[in-house]
Amino acid sequence: MPYFPQTSNSIEQGSVLNRLKKLNFTAVVCLLVYIPHRDNDDDDNDDDDDDDSDDGDDDSSYDDEDSDDMMMVIMMVMMMMMMMMMMMMMMMMMMMMIMTMLLMLKKT
């Protein structure tokens, strides 16, 4: 019996560490998404000012292409991050399965 509470405590500590890592990860992703989005909003405001003048059309179309490229880059980064997260989750699940199997074997 005294062996079991130690294992539960270690598992709890591990989950807290994993939660902190996930929080850090989500913060980085939010920053990656938010900063270009804010810049694009500023560009849109500038475009509105430019549209009042005669030369605004070419600049606005060019900026739109730029923002599309940025969106493509962000989407690629997000996809890579999602794949990494899926791989990490699979590894974690496999590790948990192996650990539980070992514990079951140890108890018997």
DSSP state of 2: T
pTM for this predicted structure: 0.34
Higher pLDDT, 53 or 18: 18
Structure token pair of residue 5: 């509470």
Per-domain boundaries in the chain: 16-107
Report the candidate in 85, 78, 63 with the shortest Cα–Cα distance to residue 29.
78
Please write the tens of the pLDDT for every residue from 20-58: 666 666 666 656 666 655 555 555 555 555 555 555 555
